[in-house]
Each structure stands twice: as structure tokens, then as C-alpha cells.
């Protein structure tokens, strides 16, 4: 049975791999980017570096990380730290303004982390990312990880949480609906959705 435990620095590469292998609407993004590490360098690495206390790992019988939930209790503060402390550590690998298509979009996201925060989200200060490898999906681990993460936020006194997702990821949307999330905000192009719920 997989177990949930706190993140350890030795998990880092495995978690980067989980992010890439689930990074295209829930499916494998390995071949979609010139350098697929751009995804975990936006969506995984900064949390492990800046908020390791809010990173939880799903570990298999060999203690290999096959999934995670992570995030930040105060998104506005996280965005500022992302820009100040995280971006300088990876910026040279993805020069600002470089790339085309998807690569260019993600490189823009990396260099402008302010996209993570909208006024509509003010009542939902925390946020999260959750990803499981295919073999770990559909067995209740996502629900269990969410329970662990919500309890950690409650312990910090955080009342509500949000997440951003691709509207095309219908499986994840069904999961979040089932777990009581509701829509807060939609990007003007309709491709991005922000959902939220209380931590109770």
C-alpha cells in the first residue's frame, strides 16, 4: 500500500519526473517541450525550495515517490518569493523571451509568476498542486493527499484554498468537483480555471 509522508530532499528528482509525466492535461508532457524541466521548475521546484513544510509525498512499497501534493499558504507572498529567491536560480536555463509556442508560454510564466494571483482569489489565500503517476491514480490516494494538505493548512489557520488548472483536464475537474471545489475564476481565453474550497 502506498503511504503519505513528508517530503525529503532525496525525493526531488522523482517529484520532477511526476510533474513532467502528468504535465499535459494530466498526461505525459515529456515530448512537448524542448526542455521539459521547465514544468517542474515552475510547478514543483519552487515549492520544494520555498515551502518544503507543505510538500507531501505518496511513496510506494519501495519508498519511491509516485505522487505529491504541495503548495503555499499565502499565495501573494509566495509569488514575491518566487520572483526574488527562486527565479534567479533557474532563469539562465530558460532565457526570458526565448522559445516558441508552448516553450515560450511556459518561459513567460516562469519569468512573470504574478499570473498566479488574481483579485478574485483574495478570499482563498492558499493554493496547491497535486499530481500522481498513472499507476497510483484512481485508488483513493488523491483524496487522501488532499486530506493531509487541508489539515496542514487548517493547522496554520488558513481558511480557504484555491488551485489553477487547465480546463481541458476533465479527469482532474471531476476529481475536484467530487472533493467539493467550486469555480472562482476563468481566464479570458477560457483555457484556465481557478477552483476553491474551504479547508474544513
Pick from 14, 137, 154, 185: which binds ligand COA (CB under 6 A)? 137
Neighbours of 46 (CB within 10 A): 24
Q: Which residue is nearest to ligand COA (CB)?
A: 142
Q: Among 89, 101, 174, 187, which residue interacts with ligand COA (rule: CB under 6 A)? A: 174
Please count the other Cβ atoms lying within 10 Å of the Cβ belonging to residue 177. Answer: 12
Backbone torsions φ then ψ of 190, nearest 5 degrees? 75, 0
Nearest to 18 by CA among 179, 136, 127: 136
DSSP tally for the chain: helices H, then strands E: 8, 7
Per CB under 6 A, does 165 bind ligand COA? yes
In the shown chain, the binding pattern of residues 12 to 51 toward ligand COA, with x for contact by CB under 6 A and - for none, equals ----------x---x-------------------------
Q: Which is nearer to ligand COA, 12 or 129 (CB)?
A: 129
Shortest separation between residue 25's beta carbon and ligand COA, angstroms: 7
CB of 170 to ligand COA, least distance (A): 7
User: Is residue 109 within 8 Å of residue 30, measured between CB atoms?
Assistant: no
- What are phi and psi for residue 34, nearest 5 degrees? -60, -45
Q: How many Cβ atoms are within 10 Å of 114's Cβ, its own excluded? A: 12
Terminal-residue alpha carbon distance, the chain: 27
The pattern of x and - marking residues 114 through 133 that bind ligand COA according to CB under 6 A reads: ----------------xxx-
Which of 95/171 has CB closer to ligand COA? 171
Please report, as ranges, the residues that interact with ligand COA according to CB under 6 A: 22, 26, 130-132, 137-143, 165, 169, 171-172, 174-175, 178
Amino acid at each position: 500500500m502506498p503511504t503519505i509522508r513528508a517530503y525529503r530532499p532525496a525525493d526531488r528528482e522523482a517529484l520532477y519526473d511526476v510533474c513532467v509525466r502528468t504535465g499535459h492535461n494530466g498526461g505525459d508532457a515529456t515530448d512537448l517541450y524542448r526542455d521539459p524541466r521547465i514544468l517542474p521548475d515552475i510547478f514543483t521546484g519552487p515549492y520544494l525550495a520555498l515551502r518544503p513544510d507543505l510538500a507531501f509525498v505518496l511513496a510506494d512499497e519501495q519508498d519511491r515517490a509516485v505522487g505529491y501534493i504541495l503548495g503555499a499558504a499565502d499565495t501573494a507572498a509566495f509569488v514575491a518569493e518566487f520572483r526574488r529567491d527562486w527565479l534567479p536560480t533557474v532563469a539562465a536555463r530558460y532565457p526570458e523571451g526565448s522559445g516558441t509556442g508552448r516553450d515560450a508560454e511556459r518561459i513567460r510564466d516562469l519569468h512573470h509568476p504574478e499570473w498566479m494571483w488574481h483579485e478574485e482569489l483574495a478570499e482563498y489565500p492558499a493554493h496547491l498542486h497535486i499530481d500522481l503517476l498513472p499507476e497510483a491514480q484512481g485508488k483513493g490516494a488523491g483524496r487522501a493527499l488532499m486530506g493531509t494538505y487541508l489539515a496542514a493548512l487548517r493547522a496554520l489557520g488558513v481558511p480557504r484554498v484555491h488551485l489553477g488548472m487547465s480546463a481541458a483536464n476533465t479527469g482532474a475537474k471531476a476529481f475536484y468537483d467530487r472533493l467539493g471545489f467550486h469555480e472562482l475564476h476563468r481566464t479570458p481565453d477560457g483555457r484556465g480555471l481557478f477552483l476553491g474550497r474551504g479547508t474544513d
